[in-house]
Amino acid sequence: MKKALLDSFLWRGIYFITTLFLNVAIARIYEAPKSGWIYFISNNFYLVVLIGGLSLDSSMSYFSASNRIAANKLALISVIWPFIVALLSIACTIFLIRGNFITSDYLFLFVAGAAYTFGISLNNFFTSLFYARQNYAVPNILMSIINAMVIILIPFFTKGYMGLDRGQFLYIYFLQFILQGIGLAILYLVLYSPVRQLQFPSLPEYKTLFRFAIVALFANIAYYLINRVDYLFVEAWCSSKSLGNYVQVSKMGQLFLIIPSIIASAVYPQAAKGENANMGKYILRIITLFVPLYLLIIIVSYFFSSPVFIWLFGKTFDEMYVPFLVLLPGILFLSMHTVIAAFFGAKNKPSYNVISTGAGLVVVLIGDLFLIKKMGITGAALVSSLGYTTAFIVSMILFMQKTAIGWRDIFTTEVFKLKTYTSLIANRSLNSK
């Protein structure tokens, strides 16, 4: 577990840093109104990825990590299914054009939608297969290199070299996802599943795979909505500048989910294999570490985040400060929920994630309807924070039932001892003396 956690931190951390640099570059080039639109349409494309992909990547993570379905069978599905998702994206774009929901940028939306959905689907499938083998280096090195290449190309478009312009750069931005996805697919096939060995799963394996995926789909849709449904309300009821500011608030919040997501990706295969009998207590100690970490982040953000946002993203992002502070407490609870959700998925209990995230989603939907019109993006941040808190509380109750952990295990003096965490990091038993 220790090696998997350290590898995940190192390589995924590098990838997230390059992604942050690219995000900052997009924000500075296109400013709040335009960059908000770019991420808004990306958000809609991802919904197509989520629904069209049927959460098969979650199912593949489980069955690959637990060795219940051969990797060469999962790899073949991972190659084929993204084409179906891309076709769904094209069909959705045609429907929106014919219904006059889209009245301009036809070519760009066709290309961007197909590139994004195809590339991200490949990315999701093959990173899941890599992570199930606890290989975090190869996929994240590849994606980091491609991010760096795109960042290097930015000055050529912003300075107008060789007749290039900022509008053309958006094609590069979305086409990079295809390059990432195809690169991951090739590397996985070369390393683990030669093309000549690819084969389709048996009918019982198909049924098992899709049965898990459909339940996981509901959980992932709920998670998607609890994080991004407020974009729709903000886009409808606030200015384009406010939308751009709120998207960056959300993205900065997601930045603080990097550590929990890295931990979750390391926890998943270990829990799926059932190799650690104390996994429940291990997770409990991990999530308690988030409390002092996020308290420190909240304090620092209160004093310094406003000028940092202006310096980092530009002067059009002057509405981020208050919503960001309001969102941060919820990010703490979402961080803990993320790790617990990975544990439920690995234990073949995706229905628990449906219940917990669904409860939070109800709070978000009701709150958005009443508060965004009155409070703008600050109201959106407040509602999201309350929704994340609700999701964590429900998931924690279910976690305690699943692991037979009681309140005494949570509120114990061991939580406040440094030795508890040094032994955790050293991967020793929590009960060892």
Annotated domain spans of the chain: 1-53+70-200, 232-433
Indicate the average pLDDT of the chain: 83
What integer pLDDT is reported at residue 70 of this predicted model? Answer: 84
Lowest mean pLDDT among 89-98, 162-171, 281-290, 366-375: 281-290
> What is the reported pLDDT for 336?
87
Query: With contact defined as beta carbons under 8 Å apart, do 317 and 375 qualify?
Result: no
φ, ψ dihedrals at 356, nearest 5°: -70, -50
Q: Which of 7-11, 161-165, 264-268, 402-406 has the lowest mean pLDDT?
A: 264-268
In this structure, of 1-15, 348-362, 396-410, the range with the lowest mean pLDDT score is 1-15
| pLDDT greater than 50 at residue 429 | no
- Looking at residue 336, its amino acid is M
Over residues 297-348, the pLDDT tens digits come to 888 888 888 888 888 888 888 899 999 999 999 998 998 888 888 888 777 7
Confidence of residue 49 (pLDDT cuts 50, 70, 90): very high
Is pLDDT of 418 > 50?
no
Write the DSSP string, 392-423: HHHHHHHHHHHHT--HHHHSSGGGG-HHHHHH
DSSP 249: H
pLDDT of residue 249 exceeding 70:
yes
413 pLDDT higher than 90:
no
The Cβ of residue 304 has, within 10 Å, a number of other Cβ atoms equal to 10
Q: Please give the model's pTM, rounded to 2 decimal places.
A: 0.77
The pLDDT tens digits for 198-244 are: 888 888 888 888 888 888 888 888 888 898 889 989 988 999 899 98
pLDDT band per the 50, 70, 90 thresholds, residue 408: low
Residue 96, Cβ density class (10 Å: 0-12 exposed, 13-18 middle, ≥19 buried): middle
pLDDT of residue 428: 41
Average pLDDT over residues 1-17: 72
